[in-house]
């Protein structure tokens, strides 16, 4: 089956996901229609115009369209009508804007959550990257619609839910194996890794506060600060660079090889996020043997096997500090079951699931056409 994958925000995890599935699919051929990953609000408004323009020169239409949550699907279909009127369409929601935590000083804008809603209505099927994401979406959606004075069509919510399912993000975990031999061995003091975005929704200030308490106590540790940074002056990290200068082994962007080596060196990976729908960086860290300390909220209970929740999920800030102190003073590898739990997200296992799921969307639409 020929699939056109529409991704207006082609960077970071979005790009890795698209290219990963393109390379790993055993049944389908994927053509990626991509746009540079920046100006996310403008992408949600304007990408449909650019993508519609690009497809006009296509000689052969795809058998299925796979669009991400950054595509305003009604706009795209309106601009290309009637070309894709009978083409099966699957939407993949990496993120949705219904419950995204507001940045300091920002006001709530219903526009982008409503775009996600309309894209879901237009698609034949909607895939969410985690159960947590799906449940939060359908918890928040009625609240969004009730903001509008009339004709809010709340009756569409159960219909949309009925045509949705969970399809976790595929990750190229096996690429990390090649760096295992070249990575320096884990040494002491233990290395704490931050490998998430340098953004407010990951709460780096809470992470640095916990480390400061332990540093004041004399707890030994080294620190690596990696992850994506979209800000010119990430104040929390600039301060941390000074405060933890004698402990820092890495600061800033890491290329693919350096990042993989950091993963194999890290003893502990910490999340303090208030927003996470999947957590690729955490999955990669666990795969490479880091001890995860994660909040008992968001998607994290989904990533960690239930028997290990009490070991790796903390309840609040004080609990984080206590657990982090304990593991830094007594470093040890996590249980093998933890690595096996995240190994299921490797493309070797996920690509066949994607192939089957997208074929099912195609066959469902075909059966509808045949019944007319």
Claim to verify: residue 315 and residue 362 sit in the same structural domain: no
- Which letter does DSSP use for residue 326 in this model? H
Claim to verify: residue 213 and residue 89 sit in the same structural domain: no
Question: 184 exposed, middle or buried (CB, 10 Å; 0-12, 13-18, 19+)?
Answer: exposed
- Spatial CA neighbour of 209 closest among 64, 320, 98, 287: 320
Q: How far apart are the first and last CA of the chain?
A: 23
What is the rounded distance in angstroms from the CA atom of residue 372 to the CA atom of residue 315?
54
Could you give the number of structural domains in the chain? 2
pTM comes to 0.95
Mean pLDDT of the chain: 95
Claim to verify: residue 135 and residue 191 sit in the same structural domain: no
- Residues 264 and 183 sit within 8 Å (Cβ to Cβ): yes
Claim to verify: residue 112 and residue 219 sit in the same structural domain: no
Claim to verify: residue 138 and residue 183 sit in the same structural domain: no
Domain extent at residue 166? 2-170+346-370
pLDDT tens for residues 113-169? 999 999 999 999 999 999 999 999 999 999 999 999 999 999 999 999 999 999 999
Task: Flag residues of the chain having pLDDT under 70.
Answer: 370-372
pLDDT tens for residues 231-278? 778 999 999 999 999 999 999 999 999 999 999 999 999 999 999 999
Q: Is the peptide bond before 189 cis (omega within 30 degrees of 0)?
A: yes
What is the rounded distance in angstroms from the CA atom of residue 303 to the CA atom of residue 344?
10
What is the rounded distance in angstroms from the CA atom of residue 154 to the CA atom of residue 144?
10
171, 227, 230, 266, 332 from 325: Cα distances, Å: 31, 23, 31, 16, 13
CATH (domain of 179): 3.40.50.2000
What is the rounded distance in angstroms from the CA atom of residue 336 to the CA atom of residue 346?
16
What is the rounded distance in angstroms from the CA atom of residue 313 to the CA atom of residue 268?
13
Handedness of CA 340, 226, 230, 274 (dihedral sign): positive
- Residues 22 and 350 sit within 8 Å (Cβ to Cβ): no
């Amino acid at each position: 089956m020929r699939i056109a994958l529409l991704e207006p925000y082609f960077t970071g995890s979005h790009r890795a996901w698209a290219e990963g599935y393109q390379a790993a699919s055993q049944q389908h051929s994927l053509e990626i229609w991509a746009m540079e990953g920046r100006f996310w609000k403008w992408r949600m408004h304007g990408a449909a115009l650019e993508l519609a323009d690009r497809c006009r020169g296509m000689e052969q239409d795809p058998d299925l369209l796979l669009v991400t949550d950054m595509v305003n699907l009604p706009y795209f279909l309106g601009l290309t009508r009637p070309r894709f009127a009978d083409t099966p369409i699957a939407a993949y929601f990496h993120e949705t804007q219904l419950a995204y935590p507001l940045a300091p000083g920002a006001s709530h804008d219903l526009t982008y959550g409503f775009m996600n809603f309309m894209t879901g209505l237009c698609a034949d099927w909607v895939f969410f990257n985690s159960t947590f994401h799906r449940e939060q979406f359908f918890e928040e959606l009625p609240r969004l619609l009730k903001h509008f004075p009339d004709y809010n069509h709340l009756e569409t919510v159960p219909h949309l839910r009925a045509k949705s399912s969970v399809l976790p993000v595929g990750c190229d975990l096996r690429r990390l194996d090649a760096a295992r031999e070249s990575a320096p061995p884990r040494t002491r003091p233990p290395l704490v890794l931050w490998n998430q975005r340098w953004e407010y929704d990951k709460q780096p200030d809470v992470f640095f506060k916990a480390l400061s308490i332990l540093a004041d106590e004399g707890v030994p540790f080294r620190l690596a600060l990696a992850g994506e940074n979209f800000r010119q002056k990430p104040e929390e990290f600039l301060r941390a660079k000074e405060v933890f200068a004698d402990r820092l082994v890495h600061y800033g962007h890491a290329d693919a090889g350096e990042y993989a080596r950091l993963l194999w060196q890290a003893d502990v990976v910490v999340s303090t996020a208030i927003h996470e729908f999947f957590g690729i960086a955490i999955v990669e860290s666990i795969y490479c043997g880091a001890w995860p300390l994660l909040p008992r909220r968001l998607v994290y209970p989904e990533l960690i096997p239930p028997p290990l929740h009490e070991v790796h999920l903390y309840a609040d800030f004080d609990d984080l500090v206590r657990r982090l102190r304990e593991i830094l003073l007594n470093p040890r590898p996590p249980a093998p079951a933890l690595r096996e739990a995240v190994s299921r997200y490797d493309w070797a296992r996920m690509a066949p699931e994607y192939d089957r799921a997208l074929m099912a969307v195609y066959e469902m639409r075909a059966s509808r056409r045949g019944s007319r």
